[in-house]
Amino acid sequence: MKKGKARKRFAAATKAEEAALQGFTLIPKVILFGAVLQRMSMFLPHDRKFFDLFEDLADKAVEASQLLVDLGVDYRSSVPFSLNPDSRSSNLLQIKEKLKVLEDEGDSIVHQIMHELFYDHTRVTEEKGDIRYFVHNLDNIIDDVEKAVARLAFTQRPTIPEPVSEFAPIILEAALEIRKAVGCLRNIQHEEIALEECCIRINELENEADIINRKWLKILMTTPTEDPNEVLERLLVKEIVDILEDTTDQCEDVANILETFRLKGGI
């Protein structure tokens, strides 16, 4: 009887040790399985409809940036014909309405991308997170341009504020570089160098915008004035400068995630 009890105890201890060993090896197995899934996802047939949506959204960003540049021309061309503030701002209001439409269209594209991502089972969570971050920052470029022009509608200036004229071409060039880079995503293995060059140029443009931002903040905040209305106008222009500088930051964020796509070999 004693030998039988000893055998039972030995068998129970052996099972306990096996269970403990299985418990210790469970976590590494889960980690290994997750890594295998992530690598396998690179070879799964990803849905290519996302590229069309990315390019549509990039086109909207270029359109919005072009309207910001056109705004300066409209301001200058409208001044000689009328000193009436309502007439002078008619072009501004038209561009403001166009930007509002572009913003709504951009939001619709983002919503469609999010919907498609939810039902896309060929990508792991990390890849979906990269795409979500990318499209939201790209959409923010459109939102910020619309916001800046909406603030301009509050001003009574006969000409466009000089900081806007300086920021506008930089934002447009950055948007054009983004559109070119987004086009590279379809065949990233062959367009890797072009994509990298776009990202480098966008970062250079953001640095240029930083210089403009610091210059105008110094002017707006340190130049003396005795006119209370001028103080209020400066505060409004400062807010516009902040928004446009943030727009260039959004462009840089888009470039950074494009660089991530390049390093990962695609999306």
Averaged confidence pLDDT in the chain: 82
Which residue would you say has higher pLDDT here, 141 or 24? 141
Q: Would you kindly state where each structural domain of the chain is located, as residue ranges?
A: 1-41, 47-264
**Does 33 have pLDDT greater than 50?**
no
Question: Buried b vs exposed e over 227-259: b needs ≥16 C-beta within 10 Å?
Answer: eeeeeebbebbbebbbbbbbbbbbbbbbbebbb
Q: Is the pLDDT of residue 85 over 70?
A: no
Cα–Cα–Cα angle for 182, 184, 185, rounded to 5 degrees:
70
CA distances from 39 to 47, 48, 65, 123, 243 (A): 17, 19, 38, 10, 40
Residue 77: the pLDDT is 47
Nearby residues of 207 by Cβ (< 8 Å), 6 or more positions away: none
CATH superfamily of 47-264: Phosphate transport system protein phou homolog 2; domain 2 (1.20.58.220)
CA distance linking residue 51 with residue 82, whole number of Å: 46
Contacts of 178 (CB under 8 A, 6+ apart): 58, 61, 62, 138, 141, 198, 202, 251, 254, 255, 258
Predicted confidence at residue 76, as pLDDT, reads: 52
Cα dihedral across residues 166, 92, 177, 125: positive or negative: positive
44/187: higher pLDDT: 187
8 Å CB contact between 99 and 145: yes
Is residue 179 a contact partner of residue 255, using CB atoms and an 8 Å limit? Answer: no
Question: What's the pLDDT tens digit per position in 193-207?
Answer: 999 999 999 999 999
Mean pLDDT of 213-242: 91
Listed range (6-15, 30-39, 165-174, 239-248) with the worst mean pLDDT: 30-39
